[in-house]
Amino acid sequence: MGIVGIGAYVPEQVVTNSDLEKSVQTSDQWIRSRTGIEERRIASSDMDTSHMAIRAAEKAIADASLHPEDIDLILVATATPDYVFPTVACMVQEALGIRHTPAMDLSAACSGFVYALVTGKQFIETNTYKNVLVIGSEKFSKIVDWNDRNTCVLFGDGAGAVVLSEVSEGKGILSFELGADGTGGKHLLVDNQTNYVTMNGSEVFKFAVRQMPESCMNVVTKAGLSKDEVDFLVPHQANMRIIDAARERLGLDKEKVSTTVTKHGNTSAASIPLALFTEIEKGLINDDDVVVIVGFGGGLTWGSLCLRW
Ligand code: ACO
């Protein structure tokens, strides 16, 4: 099975590095050179994670030429739900006017979208459900301390969604890998007292630079392919230097790798579907292309997929 429809949404408000220079001791030059980020989108106070998820989902369903009532299961990957419950998935279900469709949120931080895609795949493979709506949506701005320069320059808000269904033989998801290392949980967490993200940046960086390239190679091998056959890489958009490490391991040219981090910052579980949507819109991912998707994040977690488009 594979992706038969895709949609995305980013809030209108653009916050540039120069804007952040006014509130914390940082510089456009520092942020660009350390992360590649130039700007990010920030949602207004009346727009929460569910609102962005709904907009992305509507587009994905229309792109798949389906109607909301054709959806059999809704999965939302998010670390920033509107409420502990009801889940964002249930809020999406209500907004789309679908009744009695199972709906749940899944949490694996920035790897959440890959975890959700793999979960959806299992239900289709076992013929339990036909069309699964998988959404990654985050309003990270509400768990960022805007006075902490170590974190506030990194994140942004947004959503992406796909519809997973059966596709023709030889296409769609060819292989996947999911992983976690709970011993590294302390390096990236949302503090219970402050409700803000705290991070040991260099430890997360080392983990990502090691794990992302290895996981990419694992799914390519599992798919029975060689790295020379990979046409495009869509990595989690956290940091340009981490993206470059994965790209170099696969031996891909720069134009074969998504780098939407420059315009969106790190949107956590939304980053991969948002990047995928952006590259498809630009015409950079085409029929029959071999695409590798790889995520990493808090937990620590990672996950990757190899697909034939
Ligand atoms: N502006 C200016 N200076 C800053 C800023 C800033 N915005 N942020 C930190 N600094 C300072 C620090 O205070 C520190 O100063 P000190 O040396 O005087 O103590 C110094 O810069 C740190 O510099 P470096 O060690 O050179 O920073 P590094 O190259 O490690 O880059 C970064 C930091 C960008 C955070 C990097 O470590 C990184 O990207 N790590 C991965 C983070 C990540 O991907 N997180 C998301 C995970 S996904 C998820 O699940 C949410």
- List residues near ligand 1 (CB under 6 A): 26, 30-31, 34-35, 109-110, 149-150, 153, 188, 199, 201-202, 204-205, 208, 238-239, 266, 268, 297-298
Q: Which atom number of ligand 1 is nearest to the Cα of residue 298?
A: 50
- pTM, entire model: 0.96
Q: Is 236 among the catalytic positions?
A: yes
Catalytic residue among 90, 187, 216, 236: 236
78 closest CA partner among 273, 277, 238, 260: 273
Q: Residue 309 and residue 294: Cα distance in Å, rounded? A: 16
pLDDT tens-digit series, residues 98-119: 988 999 999 999 999 999 999 9
Active site residue 147: no
For ligand 1, the distance from its centroid to the CA atom of residue 200, given in whole angstroms, is: 8
Indicate the top mutation candidate among 34, 80, 206 to test ligand 1's pocket, ranked by most ligand atoms within 8 A of CB. 34
CB 145 within 8 A of CB 163: no
- Complex ipTM over 0.90: yes
Q: Which has the closest alpha carbon to 304: 218, 202, 184?
A: 218
Instruction: Classify residue 266 by its DSSP letter.
Output: B
Q: What is the pLDDT of residue 249?
A: 84
Least confident among 95-99, 204-208, 247-251: 247-251
Return the bridge partners of 308, or none. Answer: 172, 290
Closest-CA residue, ligand 1 atom 44, reads 238
Closest CA to 234 of 250, 258, 253, 260: 258
pLDDT in tens, 141-188: 999 999 999 999 999 999 999 999 998 888 999 999 999 999 999 999
pLDDT in tens, 231-279: 999 999 999 999 998 898 888 999 999 999 999 999 999 999 999 999 9
d(CA 237, CA 228): 23
> Which pLDDT score is estimated for 246?
86
Pocket of ligand 1, candidates 202, 210, 271: which has the most ligand atoms within 8 Å of its Cβ, to mutate?
202
